[in-house]
Amino acid sequence: MSFILRYKYTFGLILSIIIAAILFGTGVFHLLVELLDGFGYVSAFFAGLIFPFTFTAAPAGLFLLEIGASLNPVLTALLAGVGAMLADLLMFRFIKGSILKEMQTLMKAIVPIPTLARMEHVTKKRMWRWTMPFLGSLLIASPLPDELGIAIFSIINFRPKYLLVITYILNTLGIFGLVFLGSTIGS
C-alpha cells in the first residue's frame, strides 16, 4: 500500500489508461462522437481537446474527417488546434508537476547508478538540447499520441509559452490535413 501511495500519479496514469481502454472497447467514445455531431465549430474545438490523447485520437480524428465535409476546413482546423493545444498544455503541466518526479524516483530505484550517471552525462551535452525538442516536435506532428512528445518537452524543462506555439502549429497542421481530406472526400 505504501508503494501505491508513493507512486500515486504513476498508478493513476496506468489506471486512467485502463479505464480509457475499457470505455473505448465498450463504445462510450463512439457515443461521445455521435453526441457532438451537429454542434459545428464547437464540436471541432471539443474534438481538438481529445485529439492528442492515445485512446481518443482515432475517434477524434475520424470525427474531424467527418465534419470536414460540412464546415470550413481552415476555421475548423484553427479551432480544433486550440483545443489540442490546451490539452497538450494540461498534459505538460501534469507530467511536469507530478509524473516526472515520480519517474525520477522510480528510475533511481530500478536503474543501476553507473547507468544513471551515463544518462545524466548524455543529457548535459549540447546536442541533447537541440535534438530533444526536434524529436518532441516530430512526435507531436506524427500520428503517434502527443504524450511522448510532451513528455520529452517536460524532461528538458521547455518553457510552456514556446510549447504552446509549437503544439498549436503542429496540431493545427495535422488536423487541417484530416479536415481537408474530409472536405475533399465529402465534396
Asked if the model's pLDDT at residue 69 lies above 90, the reply is no
3-state secondary structure of 156: coil
Buried b (16+ CB within 10 A) or exposed e, 125-151: eeeeeeebbeebbebbbeeebbbebbb
With bands split at pLDDT 50, 70 and 90, how would you rate the model's confidence at 1?
A: low
If you search the block for the grid coordinates 485529439, which residue do you land on? 51
- 78/131 Cα distance (integer angstroms): 28
- 158/64 Cα distance (integer angstroms): 29
Q: Tell me the pLDDT tens digit for each residue of 132-177.
A: 889 889 988 876 678 888 888 888 878 889 999 999 999 999 899 9
Q: What pTM value is reported for the model?
A: 0.74
Q: Write down the pLDDT at residue 94.
A: 82
With bands split at pLDDT 50, 70 and 90, how would you rate the model's confidence at 30?
A: low
If you search the block for the grid coordinates 518537452, which residue do you land on? 153
Q: Tell me the pLDDT tens digit for each residue of 74-129.
A: 999 999 999 999 999 998 888 777 776 777 777 777 778 787 778 777 777 777 77
DSSP state of 125: S
**Per-residue CA distances from 170 to 9, 24, 115, 120, 180 (Å):** 28, 26, 34, 29, 15
Helix (H) or strand (E) holding 62: helix 57-67
